[in-house]
Chain A
Amino acid sequence: MSSPSWRFPAGQELRWRTWDDEFLVYHTNSGDTHRLNAIGAAVLRSIGRGAVSIDTLVDRIAEELRLEPTGALRSEIVELLARLRGLGLAEPVDEPGPGPDGARDR
């Protein structure tokens, strides 16, 4: 089974502040401010560069943060993507984007 892909939703803007290994992200579209750890920030940055499969995400983040690409890391990334989706900061690639009026096709 192929690994699903995720991306950063179009038309969204983020502002970042980084202090040591902690990150604050301001989501301009919603006005929400989020605190991320290194893995969360790496995931968000990675999907912001373009759609990426979970398998690739795991490998990329393991390399970037010098972690072992374990099942636990994968589970953490999958859970994180679900939370980011709930916040409007991530979407599965097979999910249609917003129409011209901003409405999503259902």
Chain B
Amino acid sequence: MSRVRDLTARAIGELLRGPGLLLHIGPLVARIGTSLIELVEPTRSLYAGFAIADAEPLEDFEVRIERGTLLRRWFAPQAVAFVDGQRAFAPFPRSHCLPMLEWAINWCVFTRPNQYLLLHSAVVERGGRGLLLPGRPGAGKSTLAAGLVLRGWRLLSDEVAMVPPGTTQLVPVPRPVGLKNGSIDAIRRFAPDVVLGPSTAGTRKGTVAHMVPPDDSVARGTEPARPAWIVFPRFESGVATELRPVSRPEAFLRVAYQSFNYSMLGSVGFETLAAIVARCACYELRYHDLDEAVRAIEETDPAPSRPSSGARSEVVP
């Protein structure tokens, strides 16, 4: 199976301008296209290790980033995102095309594959045991996930945990890891050899850059993990690192609140998430220093207390 890095920049550019670049992203197939030449090299580097899908009759979604209107080609040029042929999102500065491509792909992954329970969480794995890092934007989950990955953990995802209903499997959907503002420098200090894509300043989230996912994480994109920890990161400037236990009911509700489709799946979603939580030791991690945060997690024994008991269904006639 060929990978993006096996193609020349010219070949990638032709695919992007034409039929699109079909990529395997975990269990999903994404078609990516653009007429913007400045996206060719970043796409090539950020997705270098990703397998190119054969021409599939159906991809899961298509994202295209195209030039804005003729009027805005020369003055404050804009670009537009299309999802499955429909214009999506407001026009944005052309200089923001790379983060917009990633955010458009994120949006598709968050909203389309409802055959899975989708949790707003980074997911990493070591020794067969998966760690969920749920949290809203700005909580520090992507930064912490990046730090763990740079210490040898496998990346399953920096944004979404995908769980087949009725199972406790964490399905990988590895992508470039999005970093913002201070976390970009934090990761560079943490791992000076880290490979990052170009930084884009002035976006609605500030300055954004992406960490290239390790080849091993991408290559193992069909290998699920079993959850063993749930850790809610809370990045706070200047705080001492503190890892405190969280009760399973609290963890359940916090994860459910962060889910993209928990309410859509009904009781199956409830039972699936309950089974996930039952397997996990649950914590909240307040941190400022990434080194200390990574160490705190690595020193934690994820063996949970006895699994949930008393699960039952009651029907009142």
Contact = CB atoms under 8 A, between A and B. Distances in A.
Contacts of B288: none
Interface residues on A, range: 20 to 34
Contact of B271 (A15, A19, A31, A35): A15
A35 B315 CA distance: 19
Interface string A1-45: 000000011111111111110111010100101010000000000
B316 A24 contact: no
B314 A48 contact: yes
A35 B263 contact: no
B249 A23 contact: yes
A15 B270 contact: yes
Contacts of A28: 266-267
B309 interface: yes
B310 A17 contact: yes
B311 A10 contact: no
Nearest to B264: A31
A19 B248 contact: yes
| Range of interface residues on B (Cβ < 8 Å) | 20 to 34
Contacts of B247: 19-20, 22
A30 to B, nearest CB: 10
A12 B316 contact: yes
Interface in B52-107: none
Given A15-B267, A17-B308, A33-B256, A22 B248 contact: yes
A15 B271 CA distance: 8
A19 B305 CA distance: 10
Interface string B301-317: 00000001111111111
A25 to B, nearest CB: 9
A72 to B, nearest CB: 24
Nearest to B309: A18
Contacts of A24: 249, 252-253, 274
Nearest to A17: B274
Closest 4 A/B residue pairs (Cβ) = A18-B310, A26-B270, A22-B249, A19-B248
28 contacts: A8-B316, A9-B316, A10-B316, A11-B316, A11-B317, A13-B314, A13-B315, A15-B313, A16-B312, A16-B313, A17-B249, A17-B252, A17-B270, A17-B308, A18-B310, A19-B248, A19-B249, A19-B278, A19-B308, A19-B309, A22-B248, A22-B249, A23-B249, A24-B249, A24-B253, A26-B267, A26-B270, A28-B267
Interface of B: 247-250, 252-253, 256, 263, 266-267, 270-271, 274, 278, 308-317
